[in-house]
Structure 1
């Protein structure tokens, strides 16, 4: 992480940015030079009420070229380490490349501190280059530039190169590979790890990223933070994280006016905090969501920071854990071989069988595979059966206790899929809540049953939904009553193993981790937001675009490259700012034979099927001048030609399209704790477990 502990003027003036900090074997200073090798003079840059010397560049300049002030001896392993000290003002990402004499530029394979966050401090980008030729033609040079720059030019104070890693704890972690072999750190063995019976396990995503974390990919799963656009419906309570684990969330301000900070699950200290919370609230452990990907270490050698963090945190906190493969979005043709290769990597390289904190049932390692029977995941029955057979029956890598994540409407599926379910040892019936029936039916099939409970649901930010419409994709938490009722009903049904979905999923507001009521304002900008879906209804995966006005041509070109020209569903919405008080009648026109629904603040005001000309609201709606009205327009297009338009009229204003200047692309919401403490949901989990294990009455009122 970026070092925020040393005042800026002290770093610049007393340490001369970098001088004296390269205290390792034979560090060599790098100097900015012109194309002909002439050393460039540094210029003065203003730092608060002081000035300092630096080399300056921006995107347009193409960056700076550095040459070593002395000889650089490339070690036999071809690995060099480079440090670039710069002033962290503005935003943008450093682009650094090492150029061997006469060779092609090399990008660093591991790095830290490449993202500017406008902290106003002197910081250092640390990096490792591999594959540097031991003998080259004319030595090396370094190119330093800036990409996606916002704000100040890049000011580089100093740079250096050496052949040993820097004495920086975070950088040493970034260049380590804690997934290579068994975990060898401190360990607390779980109190019991022979069965999942009587245990509460939670799903753990671990997918949040920030700039300058070990992955170095910027903001992931939080949203477009520099633009103030969010994909989470819960804002984290970060009060219990060490300040060094938090990243400044660009210029985002909370409702209180305070600067916002966020965490990355790639840092061990963050995951340690999460597993400490699990221990403190008697959550037995976590199923780590492992989204099947070609970027696995087993496939392409990608880093496995979160996986390593979860294993280590479970060991340190005495929790258990297991892999949950989520197959969503992965091609059927590749699934079996990818899972085979990855699980073999787990056994042979990651040494999962040597981990006493890895979940077991009857001596068998637990493997959870979620999603194969879901129709929209497009996995064939043959592939699903082959995957189950490998994990159960392979002579070397099989013998596992297999859990299958299946749809809540599993009873309606084809008999062949019903037969597939028997290949699992346990099942998780997703969002079923038919606990009594499920427990009985799976018992007759000889399968263990994981009852799925969750505190609530919302994805208005994630799916760009109008914020005032709480009727859509929202399961209110009711202060915990929804969650408590699920635990109670599952316990009454005799469920002896619980899956909490999820521990950390702020995206869909299913997390039980602490959230803050001091969230940023939800976004608003001029225009109209629309999401397209193939077929007659909204699905999980849509294609979002922004329009200047509430108008869409129909019956011609496809509205999006991934959407068919015909038979699609469009969800349009945002906010209307009413310019003049009055009774308004709204209409929607479109193509013949199409269907439309219009809602204001979640209340349906128009529902028309098989359009044949404009459809209008039955009764006028009165709005005061300046009123802000959330609207949602759901439109099912078939094959006709026409133009989708949202129209209005009032006394003195004939029917006409709603003008673009009153339309805002305003969306999203942050749910709150509803007056409860931030850790309320974790504490309810602990008490809910007591109902399942018989320590609390199943009809006990929520505390």
Structure 2
């Protein structure tokens, strides 16, 4: 009877995923939230079931940070030399404004004039700051990556584990050890010794993740069909069962096609995979756009979930922000579609790949939001890469909203609820280096008029004359210069209508960029007056002493 009921619910899952809105509403009236009906197959809510877990590398160091490795660990190709344009190991540039302890690099200054500096994961303040971000954004748990600890990196990894425990306890987050066994020659014996002699002691921490009353440990890399993961199914099963016999709840970071055992998975591993308490198939490099997301949902993840439901296994699919350097993110829509699909699928938990993976460009941690925050002359892609301004913390906030949907705190929705900028507005820091549009309160765009006549706010569509490059004049906080077609916007000192016809920057070509806190910005000229659209009924001026509707503009709307 139990198996028949399980099969009924699995059938409902498949039906539900293809239902119309009205049909879904009818099913919900019968079974409540469809996610909850499916989740009933899995374990009860704990520290990983029903929660958001982030993969936490914690593997960055810097020369002079006091770490045992004393090198530019993971920031560079040559760890002994400073990071630079010719010695670079990362795809994305981090936003480091929240860190009080950073380290100068050999990169040129940032485009905003600041020294190009990077953080070290060995610094207490770095780990505390990153766990405070998790707390602020409702991220429940961090899976601390632990590679082969018997080599030269062992001491620094041991030290960072202790720092993670302290930060998790301080900020009320959970953490667990996630062994990445890639390239670990004597893995079968050494992983057991490492757990017994070192890592098991951390399970006494109030912050160590428990599921079903058991300490959580994850092993990533069993069954992958490459030379870096060479162990037999029997060897891997031995390790899984050993950890279970230690009283652990064991998660498997397994190949994408673990169930079919094709492509990235070795054959003959299904029984080994099925021995895990929870399965978390790898997805980095498998999807790159929303079409891919939906294809995997239908053809891979839905039958994965059904298999897990039928075999008493919890399912923790990966959700990716996307490779920023490859322009996959579409200002959060790519990531949100995955959240939506995995929640309606009924996944028992969600694993974010990754928190701080600046090397592969898949990080959700704070990242350069526009060109002013990357080294001059570099080709790092910033969060506004598709023309939509995003705050540095956007993907942390997006993850927080995904967690709320997983937990039923907000409704299941295919529409991303998270605004790229808090309040739907624009960053306090101007989007230096970006090309923007300005929309007036009349819902029309500001036009440069190609510098041939006074500027107006009367265009229904944004084309070349309605696009402005935001330049940092370097003369003060939040000062901007706006450029179109090689000419600069001029306030005319408020004595006549504004123009975009100046070939050099002086005081009249500089404006204060003001965040109004309501989703709009205002521009204030050097004369102390505000730029006004004049409602689009006459040429624009810079002569208003107060801000009303016509002195406020939407950016990139």
> Where in structure 2 are the equivalents of 1:238-317 lying within 5 Å?
238-242=96-100, 245-295=101-151, 304-317=158-171
C-alpha spacing 1:486/1:248, structure 2 compared with 1 (3 Å): same
Q: 3-state DSSP class of the match of 2:269? A: helix
Q: Deviations over 1:10-60 (max 9, x none)?
A: xxxxxxxxxxxxxxxxxxxxxxxxxxxxxxxxxxxxxxxxxxxxxxxxxxx
CA RMSD of aligned residues (A): 2.2
CA distance in 1, matches of 2:184, 2:272: 20
TM-aligned CA deviation for residue 234 of structure 1? 1.2
The residue aligned with 2:219 is 369
5+ long unaligned stretches in structure 2 = 1-43, 287-295, 418-557
Residue among 506, 517, 520 paired with 2:375: 520
C-alpha spacing 1:198/1:226, structure 2 compared with 1 (3 Å): closer
CA distance in 2, matches of 1:278, 1:303: 21
Mapped pair 1:407 → 2:261: no
CA distance in 2, matches of 1:673, 1:424: 40
Residue among 379, 383, 387 paired with 1:672: 383
The residue aligned with 1:222 is 75
Residue among 45, 49, 52 paired with 1:200: 52
Q: 3-state DSSP class of the match of 2:342? A: helix
CA distance in 2, matches of 1:196, 1:277: 19
C-alpha spacing 1:511/1:691, structure 2 compared with 1 (3 Å): same
> Where in structure 2 are the equivalents of 1:524-539 lying within 5 Å?
none
Q: Is the 8 A contact 2:173 2:207 kept in 1?
A: yes
Q: Is the 8 A contact 1:335 1:383 kept in 2?
A: no
The residue aligned with 1:451 is 317
Q: Is the 8 A contact 1:247 1:263 kept in 2?
A: yes
> Where in structure 2 are the equivalents of 1:163-242 lying within 5 Å?
194-215=46-67, 216-223=69-76, 225-228=82-85, 229-242=87-100
Query: Is 364-373 or 256-265 further displaced after alignment?
Result: 256-265
CA distance in 2, matches of 1:212, 1:279: 29
TM-aligned CA deviation for residue 671 of structure 1? 3.9
> Where in structure 2 are the equivalents of 1:337-352 lying within 5 Å?
337-346=189-198, 351-352=201-202
TM-aligned CA deviation for residue 195 of structure 1? 4.0
The residue aligned with 2:204 is 354
Q: Is the 8 A contact 2:336 2:414 kept in 1?
A: no
Q: Is the 8 A contact 2:165 2:202 kept in 1?
A: no
CA distance in 1, matches of 2:72, 2:201: 31
CA distance in 1, matches of 2:319, 2:107: 36
CA distance in 2, matches of 1:296, 1:226: 21
The residue aligned with 1:97 is none
TM-aligned CA deviation for residue 227 of structure 1? 4.1
Q: Deviations over 1:627-667 (max 9, x none)?
A: xxxxxxxxxxxxxxxxxxxxxxxxxxxxxxxxxxxxxxxxx
The residue aligned with 2:172 is 318
The residue aligned with 1:603 is none
Q: Deviations over 1:129-165 (max 9, x none)?
A: xxxxxxxxxxxxxxxxxxxxxxxxxxxxxxxxxxxxx
C-alpha spacing 1:522/1:443, structure 2 compared with 1 (3 Å): farther
TM-aligned CA deviation for residue 444 of structure 1? 1.3
TM-aligned CA deviation for residue 399 of structure 1? 1.3
Q: Deviations over 1:649-700 (max 9, x none)?
A: xxxxxxxxxxxxxxxxxxx643434411111101111111111111222224
CA distance in 2, matches of 1:307, 1:366: 15
Mapped pair 1:483 → 2:339: no
Q: Is the 8 A contact 1:454 1:500 kept in 2?
A: yes
Mapped pair 1:424 → 2:276: yes
Q: Is the 8 A contact 1:296 1:342 kept in 2?
A: no
> Where in structure 2 are the equivalents of 1:38-187 lying within 5 Å?
none
Query: Is 218-227 or 354-363 further displaced after alignment?
Result: 218-227
Residue among 304, 308, 314 paired with 1:442: 308
CA distance in 2, matches of 1:482, 1:495: 18
Give the number of the structure whose alpha-carbon radius of gyration is greater: 1
Q: Is the 8 A contact 2:383 2:392 kept in 1?
A: no
CA distance in 2, matches of 1:370, 1:316: 27
Where is the helix percentage greater, Structure 1 or Structure 2? 2
C-alpha spacing 1:249/1:489, structure 2 compared with 1 (3 Å): same
C-alpha spacing 1:247/1:296, structure 2 compared with 1 (3 Å): closer
CA distance in 2, matches of 1:352, 1:482: 36
C-alpha spacing 1:220/1:418, structure 2 compared with 1 (3 Å): same
TM-aligned CA deviation for residue 457 of structure 1? 1.6
TM-aligned CA deviation for residue 296 of structure 1? 7.7
TM-aligned CA deviation for residue 301 of structure 1? 6.3
TM-aligned CA deviation for residue 295 of structure 1? 3.0
The residue aligned with 2:230 is 378
5+ long unaligned stretches in structure 1 = 1-191, 461-473, 524-667
TM-aligned CA deviation for residue 197 of structure 1? 1.9
The size of the alignment, in residue pairs, is: 342
Q: 3-state DSSP class of the match of 2:396? A: helix
Q: 3-state DSSP class of the match of 1:325? A: strand
Where is the strand percentage greater, Structure 1 or Structure 2? 1
Q: Is the 8 A contact 2:258 2:273 kept in 1?
A: no
- The TM-score with structure 1 as length reference comes to 0.46
The residue aligned with 2:184 is 330
CA distance in 2, matches of 1:378, 1:671: 38
TM-aligned CA deviation for residue 416 of structure 1? 2.4
C-alpha spacing 1:506/1:673, structure 2 compared with 1 (3 Å): farther
C-alpha spacing 1:513/1:356, structure 2 compared with 1 (3 Å): same
C-alpha spacing 1:261/1:195, structure 2 compared with 1 (3 Å): closer
The residue aligned with 1:637 is none
CA distance in 1, matches of 2:48, 2:217: 12
Q: 3-state DSSP class of the match of 1:197? A: coil
Q: Deviations over 1:508-554 (max 9, x none)?
A: 1111111113212566xxxxxxxxxxxxxxxxxxxxxxxxxxxxxxx
